[in-house]
Structures are given as C-alpha cells and as structure tokens.
Amino acid sequence: MTILLAPMEGLLDFALRDVLTRVGGVDRCVSEFIHVTDALLPERVFLRVVPELANAGRTPAGVPVRPQLLGSDPACLADNAGRVGEMGTTGVDLNFGCPAKVVNRHGGGAALLQDPELLHRIVAAVRRAVPPEMPVSAKMRLGFLDDARAVDCALALQAGGATELVVHARTKAHGYKPPAYWERIADIRAAVQIPLVANGEIWTVADAQRCREASGCHDLMLGRGMVADPGLALAVLAADGNASGRTPAGWDELRPLLRVFWGIVCTKVEPRARAGRVKQWLNYLRKRHPEAEQAYQQMKTVNDSREIERLLDALAQGDQARV
C-alpha cells in the first residue's frame, strides 16, 4: 500500500510535513498549492512553499514532496512546471480540487471540473514541459456542483498524460462535510488505467478499510485524519500487515514532536503567527488524543512566544504539572 500525505492550505505545510513524516508510514507528500496566474514565478516562490526543494525535494526524514500547481492557463502552468522541474523535484502535481470561492471565481481548482477539455489541455501542456520520466499527477474532486462528469474528467486527465490520479470523494458543493462518497471513486477506477488514490474523510483505521473496500483503491491519501492522529499511517499499514515492525505513535512520542514543530515554526513563520500554529495543531490532536486537551486549554489564550516555549518544553519532558 502507498500512503500519501495530503496538501492542506493553511494547515499542512512544510513544518507539519517535516514532523508527520518523522513519525513514519508516509510514502510521499504533496505540497499546498502554488497559485500560477500569468507569470513565470521566481524560484524563491517555490522554495517558500516547498523548502524541501533545497533538499533534493525531500523532507528531513527522506520522504519525497511533490509541488502542487494551481491555475487555469495551460501555457503558464507548463512554464512553471518546467521551472520547478529544473529545481530538483521528484514530480509535479496539479490541483483540480480546491473548493475555495476565491480560487473558483478565477477559474481554478474545482471549477475546472466543468471543462474536461481544458483539463486535458492543461495536463498535456505540463506533460510536454517536464522530462518524460518525471511523474505528473493530478488531484480532483468528484465534480463542481454534482458528480455527473466525474468519469469524463478522470478520462481527460488520463488522456492528457497524468501518471497518477488522486480523487477526493466529494464535489466542490459538498465542501468538507461528511460523508465522503467513496463508492463513486470505484466508478472512476473502472474507467481509467492509471494508478488511482482514494482521499476524503479517513480519520481512523476502520475508515481506511471501508474506503479501500468501497473505492476499490489500494492506495490512500490522508489529510486531516493524519493531523489529528500522526500515527494513523502506521496504524493503517499495521492493520494491512505492512508496518515493518514500527508501532503507531502514541502521546508519549508526540509530546517531544510538538517541541520540534515549534522549533521549525520559529525559524520560518512570522512571530505573530507562531503561537496560532501550535494551537491549531493541538486543537486537532485533542480529537484523537485526550492527553492533548490539557495542553490545548493551557495554551489557547497564550500568545507570548516565551511562554509557549516554556509550556512546550515542560510537555516534551513529561512534566504535566508545569503545563
């Protein structure tokens, strides 16, 4: 089984990718989207979103990261794919699933699912712009307002030269509200020949097993479920008999990783946003780890970086009395 770590704008960025891939179980990451409009972006823009490009396109734990491009102009996307390809990436991913209104208003993300012919032209242009051995993957939703053209869109992406397709099992209209319609992925899987990865509403091992059964997909992409439970990928692999002896991460393993996360945030994130990043992750962790509740309640009103650091140091050392 291959497990991918999802891109999540405003949440799952390079800092969280670093920490989550240290836990283990993830085979590849996809970055949050890099918005391409009408210009060839300078290398610094790609490095800001995907600093792993300075490390041969891999996280410090050695997990490959595939930059994701978002836009609607085939020629401009091709130019930027060519540039990021020259920077040492192991592949390029294309976003056809973002449901954000500001993105969709400008014809990007999930809005493109209304025009399969344009999907084909975008992928074909990007495919021509990068070396033939470089993977060009794509991520789509089931559709925009409905899923009537889901198979047409997938076939268009395949015909354009996509080497892999991730399907988020909801439409743009569904947003992130449960449930995910995994059975519709099975319809796409029956129509395409390229590798297909199922995504959406996978929070537990049981969810992963039901998703694989309903979708017919062997491979999965994990998003919010992995943020809430960093040991989820290893737990899924263990349930499938493929964990290679590694055990899922429990709270005692996660406590020091919160301090590591803070250190990464402090080197890359502007000071006023640092405390919020830690509280954001703790808010997810308390959904799956009751022990995170105390830390979250202690920090939720704290914005002073020195106090956040003190509390995280105490947490890392297992001194609950000081947290």
Instruction: Report, as residue numbers or ranges, the catalytic residues.
Output: 98
- What is the b/e burial string over 212-249, where b = at least 16 CB atoms within 10 angstroms of the residue's CB? bebbbbebbbbbbbbbbbbbbbbbbbbeeeebeeeebb
From 12, 9, 4, select the one nearest 35 (Cα to Cα). Answer: 9
**Across the strands, what pairs with 92?**
136
The number of beta carbons lying within 10 Å of the beta carbon of residue 321 is 6
237, 3 Cβ separation under 8 angstroms: yes
131, 175 Cβ separation under 8 angstroms: no
CA pair distance 178, 58, nearest whole angstrom:
32
CA pair distance 205, 203, nearest whole angstrom:
7
Residue type, 131: P
Kind plus residue range of the DSSP H or E element containing 287: helix 271-288
CA pair distance 159, 161, nearest whole angstrom:
5
The two tokens of residue 100 are 């954000």
